[in-house]
Amino acid sequence: MAFPIHRMRRMRNDENTRRLVRETSLTVNDLIMPLFVCPGKNIKNEISSMPGNYHMSVDVLVDECKKIRELRIPGIILFGLPEAKDLTGSDSFSETGIIQQALKALKREVKDLLIITDVCFCEYTSHGHCGVLEHGSVNNDATLELLGKQALSHVEAGADMIAPSDMMDGRVGVIRSALDSKGFKNIPIMAYSAKYSSAFYGPFREAADSAPQEGDRKGYQMDPANSDEAVRETRLDIEEGADIVMVKPALSYLDVIYRIKQEFKMPVAAYNVSGEYAMIQAAARNGWIDGDKVTMEVLTSIKRAGADIILTYSAKDAARILNQKDYI
């Protein structure tokens, strides 16, 4: 039975009916805000390609996190810009490293906000790769040991959850046993499982000063053309103990988000990355699109695809919109 019996528009007639039949709802509970911490005092420098996002010193970060908490965003993910870089990225596992300083201050001064740390080396190494280099390429197994050390050092300084983004083979298992061996059995791991080698990370690499000096990350991050491989990558991370699995980027990979959710029925996170954010902001600043509306449409589409959690530079904007009394 078709037209004229069925008229799809009956369910679209007015906002109340649309509310009743709406299948996907985005809430503030879904959001994680990425933040960048740098050395110094009273520093808040805007990242030019990511308007509304800043390099912040620890004191400013603490205030920012209090505001994020007030917006009822459940968590943040922290990225560090170290005072100095070296071949092994040793600031990332130093007791006095930038992330460790930030964690200690946040734990002291901000209550009830989940503090997640990105675990990787590209922000901390002088060569900008995600691990230890040997003859021009990253040595997977040598990097694993340092990843365990970095994760442990973050947790000892107060991290509530660890998010490895390095894409070394075997890292989730190594981090799990490093944490367990020191009694941190209840600290969850959110694994960047299907992380693609993507040009959408461009603005982030400016933000985190983490572009590789030579070469690229194609040897360890995934080929954008692959999706079966995303399922294998994710399965391996789950077997090694991942509690949340992530697909990254989000928008060009909605099919991958969908597949991973269908296949594993695990908590799935999607990273709405820097380039995706920058495109919307650039167009909105030119008056070409309505930035707020496009942001909400994009975040809803990521959820509709199957993500339970969205890491997004729009988290504060989205929370403000969602918290408005008249937002439906």
Residues with catalytic function: 195, 248
Please list the residues that pair with 269 across neighbouring strands: 246, 309
Closer of 91 and 118 to ligand PBG (Cβ): 118
CB of 278 to ligand PBG, least distance (A): 9
d(CA 109, CA 99): 15
Q: What is the distance of C-alpha 23 from the center of its chain? A: 25
Closer of 149 and 205 to ligand PBG (Cβ): 205
CB neighbour list of residue 275: distance below 8 Å, 6 or more residues apart: 198, 199, 200, 201, 202, 203, 204, 249
Sign of the Cα torsion 147, 150, 156, 159 reads: negative
DSSP code per residue over 45-83 = EE-TTSTT-EEE-HHHHHHHHHHHHHTT--EEEEEE--S
Give the residue at shortest CB distance from ligand PBG.
Answer: 204
Q: Residue 101: enclosing H or E segment and its boundaries?
A: helix 98-109
CB of 168 to ligand PBG, least distance (A): 11
CB of 165 to ligand PBG, least distance (A): 4
CB of 212 to ligand PBG, least distance (A): 8
* Contact indicator for 143, 150 with CB cutoff of 8 Å: no
Closer of 59 and 209 to ligand PBG (Cβ): 209
Q: ω into residue 224 within 30 of 0, thus cis?
A: no
* Interaction site with ligand PBG (CB under 6 A): 118, 120, 122, 130, 165, 201, 204-205, 273-274
CB of 122 to ligand PBG, least distance (A): 5
* Residue whose entry in the numeric block shows the structure tokens 């040595």: 139
Closer of 54 and 204 to ligand PBG (Cβ): 204
Closer of 103 and 119 to ligand PBG (Cβ): 119
